[in-house]
């Protein structure tokens, strides 16, 4: 790789390498590994590289870090993912491949307002709108763990952006203000004015207040169930109706 | 190999290596970051 003439020698650069060892002919697996190296061409100290979520957090569910066409490619760390999955990468259908947009949308899938309204969602012609996500989609902390050690772990609360928020709330037009209280936004600089980290109420416009998980609410009284009987529960039968 | 940089005042990467991806059904084209594997490695310090 030859860098283009005039490249910024003061910018933080990252090289990523990846490799595999395919042992399937010996009835073994494909071993995968990757590594990144950060540097600044002029010799100065690299700036903080994107680190919103640690790979170990993804591994809570994606234990082998194998994703669709990347399966068995050797690219198995978030540090590697974000090198390509950046704001300038797009699917031909217009879907952003930026990590902070794509990941939100894949995990929202059938709950995306656009999908609820009947639109298709996916990449490379594949339908991603029916992917199952077992956690509560309001529970940001499932992925945005603040205890995993990511340097920018708090960005999801402190650095609201049109791209990140609009990735899930895709019925919002920041250009016109539609579904955004008729408030167009031409930059991300004003987001935090209304969308503070935490407001005065449990359910409000703050980042936390907009994503309060109902089952974790302090204010909602909740519902208490008591199972009193199970009908039709004999062997070979289906207990389809409950009395409570 | 992948190589990317963080533009001045930015927080996210921009890749030096890109390709044009084409939707087989619609013919739409988009730019995507990608990798390359046709280089050679030289050990040493470069400034």
Q: What is the pLDDT of residues A154-184, one digit of tens each?
A: 999 999 999 999 999 999 999 999 999 999 9
Tell me the pLDDT tens digit for each residue of A131-150.
Answer: 888 899 999 999 999 999 99
Q: Give the global pTM.
A: 0.87
> Taking 90 as the threshold, does the pLDDT of residue A123 lie above it?
yes
pLDDT given at position B47: 58
Q: How far is A115 from chain B (nearest CA, A)?
A: 20
Chain B nearest CA to A87, separation (Å) = 8
* φ, ψ (nearest 5 deg) of residue A82: -70, -10
pLDDT above 60: residue B13:
yes
Task: Kindly indicate the confidence band of residue B39, based on its pLDDT and cuts at 50, 70 and 90.
Answer: confident
Residue of B nearest to A82 (CA): B13
Residue of B nearest to A16 (CA): B2
- Do A93 and B23 count as a contact with CB atoms less than 8 A apart? yes
A241 falls in which pLDDT band (50, 70, 90)?
low
Query: Does the pLDDT value for residue A243 go beyond 80?
Result: no
Q: How many helices (H) and strands (E) does chain B have?
A: 0, 4
- Residue B5 sits at the chain A interface (C-beta within 8 Å): yes
Q: What is the ipTM of this complex?
A: 0.88
Question: Mean pLDDT in chain A?
Answer: 93
Residue A9 CB partners (closer than 8 Å, separation 6+): A40, A41, A42
């Amino acid at each position: 790789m030859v860098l283009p003439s005039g490249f910024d020698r003061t910018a933080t650069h990252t090289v990523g390498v990846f490799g595999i060892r395919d042992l399937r002919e010996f009835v073994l697996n494909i071993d995968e590994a990757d590594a990144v190296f950060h540097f600044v061409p002029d010799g100065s100290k690299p700036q903080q590289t994107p680190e919103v979520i640690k790979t170990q957090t993804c591994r809570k569910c994606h234990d082998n870090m194998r994703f669709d066409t990347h399966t068995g490619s050797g690219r198995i760390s978030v540090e590697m993912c974000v090198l390509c999955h950046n704001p300038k990468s797009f699917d031909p259908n217009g879907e952003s491949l930026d990590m902070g947009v794509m990941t939100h949308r894949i995990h929202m899938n059938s709950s995306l307002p656009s999908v609820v309204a009947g639109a298709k969602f996916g990449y490379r012609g594949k339908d991603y709108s029916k992917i199952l996500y077992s956690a509560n989609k309001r529970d940001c902390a499932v992925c945005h763990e603040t205890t995993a050690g990511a340097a920018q772990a708090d960005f999801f609360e402190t650095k609201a952006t049109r791209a990140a928020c609009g990735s899930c709330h895709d019925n919002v037009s920041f250009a016109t203000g539609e579904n955004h209280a008729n408030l167009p936004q031409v930059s991300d600089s004003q987001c935090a004015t209304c969308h503070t980290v935490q407001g005065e109420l449990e359910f409000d416009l703050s980042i936390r207040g907009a994503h309060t998980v109902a089952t974790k609410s302090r204010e909602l009284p909740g519902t208490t169930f008591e199972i009193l009987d199970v009908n039709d529960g004999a062997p070979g039968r289906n207990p389809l109706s409950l009395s409570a | 190999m992948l190589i990317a940089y963080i533009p001045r005042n930015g927080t996210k990467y921009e890749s030096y290596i890109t390709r044009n991806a084409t939707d087989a059904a619609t013919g739409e084209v988009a730019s995507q970051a990608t990798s390359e594997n046709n280089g050679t490695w030289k050990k040493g310090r470069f400034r």
